[in-house]
Amino acid sequence: MAAANREARILKHQIVRQKVDSLLDALTVGDPVPSERDLAARFDVARETVRQALRELLVAGRIERRGRGTVVAGPKLVQPLIIGSYTEAALTEGRSVGRLLVDWTDLVADDELADFLQLGVGDAVVELERVLLTDDVRVGLERTRLPAQRFTGLRDTLDTSSSLYAAIRARGITFARAVERIETTLPDAREAALLDADIRTPMLLLNRISYDENDIPIEHRRSLYRGDRMSFVTTLTP
């Protein structure tokens, strides 16, 4: 009986999701979505059922949180997995892009970071953290750690609203390969606040080490993307 009841509840919220999805088709991007209370009354279901349906639509990228409300979302940004910044993908899709500086931080390499960047423990490292925007929506939080000796003066010359990869290439450094690990995670309170997201919003976490043509590490990058606003694609060949 318990299993049958559980199956019925899943079926009910899926039905509600389909109904809300159809309702969204009649709205435009940025339009407010009716409240949980209004939807529960309209479909004669419990608010928890509506909440489950909205949760799935949020993860699917059909809706997004804006302050205390929920609005119809635009299409997710599809990011190719390439050695480059997210800028190229966004511009290719006709999106506007931007970056907000969070902080520049001076670090010293611990055992792990020294291993990542092939440095000595205690060597100087500079960390750049920025919020990534697409169409004025905060979609990602990017933290890049670079060997300070190799990037002397970068803090003084980099336009933090522009591409870091372009600035690195302008120094005559060539990106030859990158090793990237992708995981799912949830944001902590600080990350959620910086991304204007709920702490329950699923995130895509990318950890990358990029190497030059001499196989020397260039950067260690940690990128956290909102799963409701971003997806990734790659082409595999035999």
Split into its structural domains, the chain has a count of 2
* Mean pLDDT within 124-149: 95
Considering the domain architecture, whether residues 122 and 199 belong to the same structural domain is answered as yes
What residue type is assigned to position 233 of the chain?
V
The residue segments making up the domain with residue 221 are 77-233
Domain boundary pick from 43, 72, 101: 72
**Separation in Å, CA 156 to CA 109, 152, 159, 201, 214:** 22, 9, 9, 35, 27
| Beta strands 77-80 and 230-233, pairing class | parallel
Q: What are phi and psi of 15, to 5 degrees?
A: -65, -45
Contacting residues for 121 by C-beta, under 8 A, at least 6 apart: 109, 110, 111, 114
The per-residue pLDDT for range 80-112, each reduced to its tens digit, is 777 766 676 677 777 788 999 999 999 999 999
118 shares a domain with 25 = no
Greater confidence (81 vs 13) lies with 13
Q: 152-156, 165-169, 218-222, 229-233: which range is least confident on average?
A: 229-233
Q: Is residue 196 domain-resident?
A: yes
- How far apart (Å, rounded) are the C-alpha atoms in residues 75 and 108? 41
CATH number at residue 89: 3.40.1410.10
Average model confidence (pLDDT) across the chain: 88
> How far apart (Å, rounded) are the C-alpha atoms in residues 139 and 223?
10
My answer on whether 94 and 203 are in the same domain is yes
The pLDDT tens digits of the residues spanning 163-213 come to 899 999 999 999 999 999 999 999 999 999 999 888 888 899 999 999 999
- The whole-number average pLDDT for the span 209-231 is 94
Q: 3-state DSSP call for residue 198?
A: coil
Of 28, 52, 72, which closes a domain?
A: 72
Which residue among 72, 98, 131 closes a domain? 72
> Within a domain: residue 238?
no
Query: What CATH number has the domain bearing residue 11?
Result: 1.10.10.10
This prediction has a pTM of 0.79
Tell me, yes or no, whether 101 and 209 share the same domain.
yes
Residue 201's nearest CA partner among 74, 60, 82, 81 is: 60
- Please give the share of the chain, as a percent, with pLDDT higher than 70: 92
Asked if 30 and 111 sit in the same domain, the reply is: no
Tell me, what amino acid is at 228? D
- Tell me the C-alpha distance between 120 and 110, whole Å: 8
